[in-house]
Structure 1
Amino acid sequence: MGQHGEKARGTLLDSAEELFARFGIDAVSNRRIAEHAGTANHSAVAYHFGGRDELLRALVTRHLEDTNRRRTELLANLPADAPLPDLLTVMILPWVEHLASLPVPSWRARFVHQIRSVPSVHQVLTEAAVASPAMEELVARTHAAAGDVPPSVLYGRSSILGGMVLGVCAEYEARIQDGVEKPNWTGVGYFLIDSCVGMLAAPVTHPGDFLARPSSVYLL
């Protein structure tokens, strides 16, 4: 694809990410994405991506290589017996650092938060998450470091954890855009790390399989 094609593709991705973040996945048509991108070709999404699923896949994986690289670097520096806070730092910090690197306004956190709840995108998210060996290793080591918490409880807590991290980041991103907050993503990141440590390692008073095992931890 030539330089012009790459630029057009990038503009469509920017347009789709913003509109999906603002209005939701199902409320935005491919035509509306093309119009927002400033192109008169209403078939631009199909032309550049092949279809809706391919567009969503491109959006999900858009910055994944950078965050995976950073996660792999941090993971390589951990000792074999790394405690839970250090493991969660490696899991969460690359995502937060990526959000900090984006211009204001950014839409990434709100977009990812939106797609997490869309059943039709579940497979795309799952593929993106399991494609990261570093994340797979982190999930396994995090569960092992959580002590005597039963696996069924850990699965349920991990599901809540993923939604909590994405929800907090989405809300913070919006507050930055509205001028309510001055960006301090590092502070938010360590707040989330501390909160997740407390959630995963909390005492278990009523063990049980209350939540289905999540397929993946969606931190992109």
Structure 2
Amino acid sequence: MARTSGPETREKLIRAAEELFAAQGVHGAQLRDVVARAGQANPSAVQYHFGSRAGLLDAVMAGRQARTEAVLAPLLESTDDDLKGLVTALVTAEASELRTERGRRCLRISAQLSHESGVRARTPHPALAGTAYWRLIERIADRLAAAGLPEPLLLERLDLALTVVGAALADRARQYLAGTEPLTGEALFLADLAETTTALLRAPRPEPADHRKDSS
């Protein structure tokens, strides 16, 4: 059997992890199955090349982020601070992963990690610091602040919007991978996702419910 180089083995493990993490869950997939799917005989191959499950997951997400950043960065340069334009740039960049089976699997994986971006603390996950993705998040947050949303509500709403986008695209990816016919064409789906997410972000600030007991 021909020996493979370190980079080749790493890539095989990443590809295998993409398949199994997407199908079985980031925490449900067994590392031994990843190793077997990658065609590796050493049961400690993941630990050797990545240190841990978390290291392997970081490598999977690094490739996904690099592809999305390549689409998002030029979009962000040409987008003003109109909220709908910013959301459309986000949806367009994220949806670029629908083009390939690899990207579809990565959408299913990243949807499982939607609350790890650091949005709620307004402190980016180390992998997102300095990225076009985080600059986009900050620009959306600035628009919400300008609309009068207080910081805690602003951050919760932004985190919810990102979760909605991620979940919707992950479900679309699932349908494509399964060969299921979606209810709508992709162009309409993406336009509606951008509109719906923008509407969510633009919703008026709610008045707190009055929980005082009736004194009568």
Give the TM-score, by structure 1 length: 0.78
Unaligned runs of 5+ in 1: 119-124, 209-220
Match of residue 13 from structure 2? 12
* Cα root mean square deviation, aligned: 2.7
Match of residue 216 from structure 1? none
Task: Find the aligned partners of 1:33 and 1:199 in 2 and give their Cα distance.
Answer: 39
Match of residue 55 from structure 1? 56
Task: Find the aligned partners of 1:66 and 1:109 in 2 and give their Cα distance.
Answer: 12
Match of residue 88 from structure 2? 89
Q: CA 1:104–1:155 in structure 2 vs 1: closer, same or farther (change >3 Å)?
A: closer
Match of residue 136 from structure 1? 134
Task: Find the aligned partners of 1:199 and 1:95 in 2 and give their Cα distance.
Answer: 18
Unaligned runs of 5+ in 2: 117-123, 210-216
Structure 1 residue 108 displacement after superposition: 1.2
Match of residue 214 from structure 1? none
Task: Find the aligned partners of 1:161 and 1:141 in 2 and give their Cα distance.
Answer: 14
Q: Which has the higher contact order (CA 8 A, sep 6+)?
A: 1
Number of residues paired by the alignment? 197
Structure 1 residue 96 displacement after superposition: 0.7
Task: Find the aligned partners of 1:37 and 1:6 in 2 and give their Cα distance.
Answer: 13
Task: Find the aligned partners of 2:208 and 2:72 in 1 and give their Cα distance.
Answer: 32
Task: Find the aligned partners of 2:206 and 2:43 in 1 and give their Cα distance.
Answer: 56
Aligned-partner residue type, residue 11 of structure 2: G
Match of residue 69 from structure 2? 68
Which digits, 9 at most, give the CA deviation of each residue in 1:189-215, with x for residues without a partner? 32221111100101122269xxxxxxx
Task: Find the aligned partners of 1:207 and 1:77 in 2 and give their Cα distance.
Answer: 38
Structure 1 residue 116 displacement after superposition: 3.7
Larger Rg: 2
Is contact 1:96-1:186 (8 Å) kept?
Answer: no
Match of residue 213 from structure 1? none
Match of residue 173 from structure 1? 173
Structure 1 residue 55 displacement after superposition: 0.9
Which digits, 9 at most, give the CA deviation of each residue in 1:61-90, with x for residues without a partner? 1132232232121111124xx311111122
Report SS of the residue matched to 1:107: helix
Task: Find the aligned partners of 2:66 and 2:175 in 1 and give their Cα distance.
Answer: 27
Report SS of the residue matched to 2:43: coil
Give the TM-score, by structure 2 length: 0.79
